[in-house]
């Protein structure tokens, strides 16, 4: 596989020049089928669409005109969320069939600006044709009439698309390669094992995005998101929140960080079904779990820790030893199958969870370094 480096990022081949040719031919045929009797005006959005626009009109069989507008909304590999029109239309499109040629639609911010520009142009018809579309990132309700290829929410470069103005001239499309540096980990541990404390250290040391199911639930419920309201409806009835709701929340967190160098999953998965769903989701993104870390400690030691913690927090369930032991039993019952699941994949790493915070961090770091070296 041919890897290329642009600035400080590594990219891998994603869509070949031949595939791009086939996509352009198909899209041009679709538009011609709808507008072949008229002479449409194609409006290409610069700079990213210049290659797409040139190849698209080359494949278009009918009469047409082409014009350009120039906008910007990217800085580096992240969308700024702000769109600036730099160059406007120089000729009237009143009474004409207009087709916007976009290189990529992700959040929809640029699309929103395009709709605003053409709102009062009195065009006969208005259509959007985009070479690439990121459905996971799209936040708007504007209609997209022609899509060349839906893609995951990964950063791509080439064939007109750039990374800080470099890479536009590449004849094929490359995607950001995170497999070289990305490390995705699952952190296990009984109540009182210190997962939260260690996660705070590890996410900073290895530049990981920490995804805690507890934090995700609290955020969604507090902010009354669609998933939060759904979860709350189960909680109010005294029912367990279904796996699919939890998994959707987790997926949203992953998709918010398309350029992360890795994820640290804390409190998830808790069942084989969840582990399989996580593997399937990550696989769809070209990612995987690299290793699981299990903080192991004697129950009696953990009970003492939790009781002491309960004296400070005032939580009654942290001061009742019988309830604590019941939580351990539940943990063991749920986690035992997961241990076997990840051992079968060669991804299970037990770490001694007894000692000072610093000593345990050193042990976890040694295990992670070993995982990264594999």
Binding site as annotated, residues for AMP: 213, 218, 239-241, 267-270, 274, 315, 327
**Domain co-membership, 152 together with 167:** yes
N-terminal to C-terminal alpha carbon distance within the chain: 19
**Domain co-membership, 158 together with 187:** no
**Domain co-membership, 353 together with 285:** yes
**Domain co-membership, 211 together with 347:** yes
Q: Which stretch, 243-247, 318-322, 341-345, has highest mean pLDDT? A: 341-345
pLDDT digits (tens, 9 = 90+) for 15-28: 999 999 999 999 99
CATH number reported for the structural domain that contains residue 206 in this entry: 3.40.50.300
**Domain co-membership, 194 together with 171:** no
Q: In the chain, how many domains are there? A: 2
Give the residue with greater pLDDT, 190 vs 145. Answer: 145
**Domain co-membership, 165 together with 203:** no
Q: Is the pTM of this model over 0.85?
A: no
Binding site as annotated, residues: 192-197, 213, 218, 239-241, 267-270, 274, 309, 315, 327, 355
**Domain co-membership, 125 together with 203:** no
- Which stretch of DSSP H or E encloses residue 303? helix 299-313
Q: Would the pLDDT of 351 be above 50?
A: yes
**Domain co-membership, 165 together with 229:** no
Q: Where are the beta strands (DSSP E) in the chain?
A: 4-6, 9-15, 41-46, 65-75, 78-87, 97-105, 125-133, 146-150, 156-157, 173-176, 185-189, 209-212, 263-266, 291-296, 348-352
**Domain co-membership, 144 together with 204:** no
Average pLDDT rounded to a whole number, residues 196-202: 90
Q: Of 148, 176, 204, which one is at a domain's C-terminal end?
A: 176
Q: Of 120, 153, 176, which one is at a domain's C-terminal end?
A: 176
pLDDT digits (tens, 9 = 90+) for 37-92: 899 999 998 889 999 999 999 999 999 999 988 865 544 545 545 545 546 676 78
Residue span of the structural domain in which 261 resides: 183-372
**Domain co-membership, 203 together with 89:** no
pLDDT digits (tens, 9 = 90+) for 114-147: 888 888 889 999 999 999 999 988 889 999 999 9
Q: What per-residue confidence (pLDDT) applies to 44?
A: 93
Q: What per-residue confidence (pLDDT) applies to 86?
A: 46
**Domain co-membership, 234 together with 292:** yes
Tell me the C-alpha distance between 278 and 346, whole Å. Answer: 17
Q: What per-residue confidence (pLDDT) applies to 240?
A: 78
CATH number reported for the structural domain that contains residue 48 in this entry: 3.40.50.2020
Count of positions (residues) in the chain: 374
Q: Of 131, 154, 176, which one is at a domain's C-terminal end?
A: 176
Q: Which of 2-6, 251-255, 311-315 has the lowest mean pLDDT?
A: 311-315
- List beta partners, residue 149: 132
Q: What per-residue confidence (pLDDT) applies to 80?
A: 47
> What are the residue numbers of the active site?
195, 270, 309, 315, 327
Please, which pLDDT band fits residue 179 given cuts at 50, 70 and 90? Answer: low
**Domain co-membership, 236 together with 201:** yes
């Amino acid at each position: 596989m041919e890897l290329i480096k642009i600035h400080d990022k590594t990219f891998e081949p994603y869509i070949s020049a031949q595939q791009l040719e086939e996509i352009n031919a198909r899209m041009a045929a679709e538009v011609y089928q709808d507008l072949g009797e008229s002479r449409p005006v194609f409006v290409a959005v610069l700079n990213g669409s210049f290659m797409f626009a040139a190849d698209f009109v080359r494949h278009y069989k009918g009469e047409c005109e082409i014009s350009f507008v120039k906008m910007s909304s990217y800085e580096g590999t992240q969308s700024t969320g702000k769109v600036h029109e730099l160059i406007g239309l120089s000729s009237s499109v009143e009474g004409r069939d207009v087709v916007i040629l976009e290189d990529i639609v992700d959040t929809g911010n640029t699309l929103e600006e395009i709709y605003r520009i053409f709102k009062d142009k009195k065009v006969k018809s208005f259509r959007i044709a985009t070479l690439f579309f990121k459905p996971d990132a799209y936040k708007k309700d504007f209609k997209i009439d022609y899509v060349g290829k839906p893609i995951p929410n990964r950063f791509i470069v080439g064939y007109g698309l750039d990374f800080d103005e470099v890479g536009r001239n590449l004849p094929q499309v490359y995607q950001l390669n995170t497999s070289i540096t990305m490390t995705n980990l699952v952190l296990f541990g009984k109540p009182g094992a210190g997962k939260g404390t260690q996660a705070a250290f590890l996410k900073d040391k290895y530049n990981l995005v920490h995804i805690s199911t507890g934090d995700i639930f609290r955020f969604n419920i507090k902010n009354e998101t669609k998933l939060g309201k759904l979860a709350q409806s189960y909680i109010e009835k005294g029912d367990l929140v279904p796996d699919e709701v939890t998994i959707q929340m987790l997926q949203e967190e992953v998709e918010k960080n398309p350029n992360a160098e890795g994820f640290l999953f804390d409190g998830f998965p808790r069942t084989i079904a969840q582990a399989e769903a996580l593997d399937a989701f990550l696989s769809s993104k070209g990612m995987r779990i690299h290793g699981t870390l299990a903080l192991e400690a004697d129950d009696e030691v953990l009970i003492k820790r939790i009781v002491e913690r309960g004296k400070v927090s005032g939580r009654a369930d942290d001061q009742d030893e019988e309830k604590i032991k019941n939580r351990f039993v539940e943990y063991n019952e749920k986690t035992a199958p997961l241990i076997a699941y990840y051992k079968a994949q060669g991804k299970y790493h037990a770490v001694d969870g007894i000692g000072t915070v610093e000593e345990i961090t050193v042990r976890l770091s040694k295990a992670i370094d070993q995982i990264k070296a594999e």
